Structure 1
């Protein structure tokens, strides 16, 4: 999954919405901390106002982290793997597992998903075997040579299939060392 990009207009609208949401929180937090009325928040020293805003952003950051974990657990409950969670967040599978350790039910793992490997000008598909019975691959090198690892699973893990497919793609690249 490629991370979605937002337009400059969307980013501006997002920043405006976040600032609109932040101002009442920052004012309320400052009022509680100083005993001053909310309306007088902006009458303080600029450094104090800036620190109040920073403290409010910290609260927002913690809430975003909490809501992010909820979204990850929800996706995991629908069968998303750590690999897919990581791809959606722009991190590795291992990074997703570390960030949201309880997001995926390991007792009922999601079915293995195919993958694509593009290296050395070629392309290979990584294909799970039946009932998670290993992995196979098929690919076409940059020189046009096509190879399949057969219908039977040739590799115990997806990583092993990727390594073998990568070696094939390197061997059949058009630019050889």
Structure 2
């Protein structure tokens, strides 16, 4: 369970917040709040529909096609915000316990995931070290073998480089 470093001398309700950090208590609280807010959500939905319907039907002589709707929108935007806010509260209350349970499961699994990742990384590092060591060993072995070969009599024993190839091409007129 998550612990907070919180001092509450004024008694502002930190104890209930501390208890909410347990999934069963949070689920129970969210369900109670949802039961409490569902009726108000329905009320705000009905209020929005009633205001929209009533105010849009108020026509004054000389109105254009959408004049009543524009006048109604000045009021109904507030009822619409009430309705949407109540619906958002309901959605959040429904999603909160599951999201918190997922968070706690993730937090419990995190140390094991990090350990497994560190082991995979160490394994890759060891494999890279082994491959590099093998490659270097082959290079040293082949270089030593070439250096220990006895050159044949009468052959040019100097090692040729890129410059020598360039000079050969220039001499041949390529």
TM superposition score normalised by structure 2 = 0.29
Would you tell me which structure has more strand in proportion to its own residues? 1
By relative contact order (CA 8 Å, sep 6+), the higher-ranking structure is 2
Would you tell me which structure has more helix in proportion to its own residues? 2
Larger radius of gyration: 2
